[in-house]
């Protein structure tokens, strides 16, 4: 149930067609896992908090560096050397004191994912590495949790909303890790933030169904043109080693 403070805080959002107290209450009762709090995950977490998500789990290993500051908008130049998840938690709680935040100073891997994902209703993958994206994909398929896979490179981005059993999974699209993918790549913070916002909007659609979510599609964002294109994906890959045991 929404209290008076919630009703005032989210009154502009609840003016959206199809989005009322029911949808806002769903967000309040939702726990979202956001992996990494960098150029993509930072704005994802920020917009989820602003939208009124009840609880957020953050996972990102390591301390803030100066070369993070062109894109990691939850940080501060005064906090270089501090753990990024602590900085993100401080910024998010400063924005909205009612949001519960659990932080892990670690990146997801096969050993820790079960503990980190515990209690999550939806996952936003904002990891730069395919190894992490695959770990999240496996965990979401296994636990039947929706996954919004967000990725970007230079002036382009991709958002893939995945609902286990109802859409392709990440392994259907990428059976193997692309060999050309590198850890460091060009990023303009405005582009990673743009991709993040599309991911949050798709996640809110999946959670509340206030508009039909784009399940079964990949959203391709090109900041050069600019364009946002919805690319319909083929049916599930029957040879997919991750999701082929899930029906239909
Ligand atoms: Zn699959």
Domain range for 152: 32-232
Transcribe 48-116 into DSSP letters: HHHHT-SEEEEE--SB--GGGTTT-TT--GGGTTSBHHHHHHHHHHHH-TTSEEEEESS---TTTHHHH
Question: Ligand 1 centre and the CA of 240: distance in Å?
Answer: 5
Q: pTM for the complete prediction? A: 0.96
pLDDT in tens, 183-206: 778 899 999 999 999 999 999 999
The total of structural domains in the chain comes to 1
Domain presence at residue 12: no
- pLDDT of the residue at 247: 57
Question: Ligand 1 centre and the CA of 233: distance in Å?
Answer: 12
Question: Ligand 1 centre and the CA of 33: distance in Å?
Answer: 21
Residue 150: CATH number of its domain = 3.40.50.720
Domain presence at residue 108: yes
Domain presence at residue 26: no
Per-residue confidence in pLDDT tens, the chain, 248 aa: 899 999 999 999 999 999 999 999 999 999 999 999 999 999 999 999 999 999 999 999 999 999 999 999 999 999 999 999 999 999 999 999 999 999 999 999 999 999 999 999 999 999 999 999 999 999 999 999 999 999 999 999 999 999 998 999 999 999 988 877 777 788 999 999 999 999 999 999 999 999 999 999 999 999 999 999 999 997 777 788 898 766 55
User: Distances in Å between the alpha carbon of 197 and those of 48, 112, 161?
Assistant: 9, 27, 13
Question: Ligand 1 centre and the CA of 172: distance in Å?
Answer: 4
Domain presence at residue 109: yes
Question: Ligand 1 centre and the CA of 238: distance in Å?
Answer: 8
- pLDDT of the residue at 237: 77
- pLDDT of the residue at 248: 52
For residue 235, what are the contacts with CB-CB under 8 A and spacing of at least 6? 168
Averaged pLDDT of the chain? 95
Question: Ligand 1 centre and the CA of 4: distance in Å?
Answer: 43
CA 4 to chain centroid, in Å, comes to 29
Task: Specify whether the CB–CB gap between 203 and 9 falls below 8 A.
Answer: no
């Amino acid at each position: 149930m929404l209290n008076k403070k919630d009703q005032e805080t989210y009154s502009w959002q609840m003016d959206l067609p199809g989005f009322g107290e029911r949808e806002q209450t769903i967000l309040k009762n939702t726990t979202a896992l956001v992996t990494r709090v960098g150029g993509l995950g930072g704005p994802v977490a920020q917009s989820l908090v602003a939208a009124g998500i009840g609880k957020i789990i953050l996972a990102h290993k390591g301390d803030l560096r100066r070369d993070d500051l062109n894109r990691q908008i939850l940080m501060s130049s005064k906090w270089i050397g501090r753990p990024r998840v602590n900085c993100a938690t401080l910024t998010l709680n400063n924005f909205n004191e009612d949001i519960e935040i659990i932080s892990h100073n670690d990146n997801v891997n096969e050993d820790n994912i079960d503990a980190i994902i515990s209690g999550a209703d939806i996952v936003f993958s904002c990891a730069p590495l395919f190894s992490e994206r695959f770990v999240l994909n496996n965990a979401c398929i296994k636990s039947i949790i929706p996954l919004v896979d967000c990725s970007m490179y230079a002036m382009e981005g991709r958002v893939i909303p995945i609902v286990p059993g109802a859409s392709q999974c990440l392994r259907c699209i990428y059976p193997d890790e692309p060999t050309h993918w590198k850890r460091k790549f060009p990023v303009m913070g405005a582009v990673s933030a743009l991709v993040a916002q599309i991911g949050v909007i798709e996640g809110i659609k999946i959670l509340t169904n206030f508009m039909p979510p784009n399940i079964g599609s990949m959203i391709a964002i090109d900041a050069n043109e600019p364009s946002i294109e919805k690319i319909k994906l083929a049916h599930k890959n029957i040879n997919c080693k991750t999701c082929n045991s899930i029906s239909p």
